[in-house]
Amino acid sequence: MDISTLCIHGAEDHTHCTGSITVPIYQAATFVHPGVGESTGYDYSRLQNPTREQVEKIVAKLENGADALAFSTGMAAVTALMELFKIGDHLIVSDDLYGGTHRLFHHISMKNGISFSFVDTSDSSEVIKHIKKETKAIYIETPTNPMMQVTDIAAISKIAKENNLLLIVDNTFLTPYFQNPIQLGADIVIHSGTKYLSGHNDTLSGFLVTRTEELSEKLRFIHKTTGAGLSPFDSWLMIRGIKTLAIRMEKQQENAILLANWLSNHPKVQSVYYVGLPTHPGYEISKKQARGFGSMISFKVDTEETAVQLLSKVKLVLYAESLGGVETLITYPMLQTHADVPKEEREAKGIDERLLRISVGIENINDLIVDLGQALG
């Protein structure tokens, strides 16, 4: 079944006598036992809920995983993931990382005795250089947020397997529609479902998808114990959002390519970071491991004043945090997504007062260009 069809029909459950084509919202906290030692398969919604189960099934199918676990937010998913590790364990992590994950690793995980090496994972030799006996996993974003660095997933998977390490891939930016890390050797795939999977900026969610049942069993124990499962209503919203994932991703990418080229030719724009541009250093790897380039663009303008002016003057484009929805959003990473990253570290990565990030939506591209044009001046 083609992935675009799977997005629409993958969560269907025809066992209900009503014939409803949508999955019901089981807004229930607990479930009746038929008798002692008997169960319907559902006991308490923290453990599992029928609506959550359906969205987990569709995400697992889309990522070709053994299982998927749905969480209340993307960060709840990453937090639960870190419970796989213990005091003294070491992880190698992409050095250009979503600010919330950076905050979790530096302020929570390190406090709990886990250590990290933050490296440029697009350079395999750097990854190899930082492996030590305490290393348990390699954690990558690709493309990274916000500098759009691309890591060769298959190459890092080979390194991970040779050293008996888990490979964890945050696939939020490209989604399973464009990229399937498990097929490239990943053991666990992360999604902030809030973003493209939902697609409408109206709910929060997160997912962990596992390659094996063994990893699923470990994570399900953590999932039920820590208690950050996705609610029934939000699970239903996710199912509804995924139905249009394919057409949204195609339209957003179409707009992003046109917008990236327009930005590249604007006199006040100095650099454009979009993996779909042939000039991007990760372009060829992206073509090899993904079916598309997505719709995330970061770019640098000539001055801080230009950046502030643009954010103040946009009308159609919305100055707001988050990404992946049908609306085009523009973000100021140094003040928003990466505000908690120390200034020296942030600027060393290029995240400064001139850097902006756009999540391109599905509006008419000419309207987006007109709006950004008048805002840039």
Helices (H), the chain: 3-9, 50-62, 74-81, 99-104, 124-129, 153-162, 175-178, 213-226, 232-242, 245-264, 283-289, 304-313, 343-348, 365-376
Residue 220 bears catalytic tag: no
Kindly name the residue from 95, 96, 152, 170 that is annotated as catalytic.
170
3-class SS at 327? coil
pLDDT at 344 over 90: no
Asked whether residue 21 carries a pLDDT value surpassing 90, the answer given is no
CATH class in words for 246-376:
alpha beta
The kind and range of the H/E element at 355 are strand 355-359
Pairing of strands 90-94, 67-71: unpaired
As a whole number, mean pLDDT of residues 268-293 equals 98
Strand order in the sheet with 67-71: 67-71, 206-210, 188-192, 166-170, 135-141, 90-94, 115-119
Active site residue 195: yes
> CA quadruple 12, 64, 232, 294: dihedral positive or negative?
negative
Residue 115 banded pLDDT, cuts 50, 70, 90: very high
Q: Domains of the chain: which residue ranges? A: 3-86+158-242, 246-376
Q: How far is the C-alpha of 347 from the C-alpha of 371, rounded, in Å?
A: 28
- Tell me the CATH architecture of domain 3-86+158-242: 3-Layer(aba) Sandwich (3.40)
pLDDT band at 205 (very low <50, low <70, confident <90, very high): very high
Of the residues 26, 98, 274, 332, which is catalytic? 98
Whole-angstrom distance, CA of residue 222 vs CA of residue 339: 30
State yes or no: is 98 an active-site residue: yes
Please indicate whether residue 46 is annotated as part of the active site.
yes
pLDDT band of residue 343 (cuts 50, 70, 90) is confident
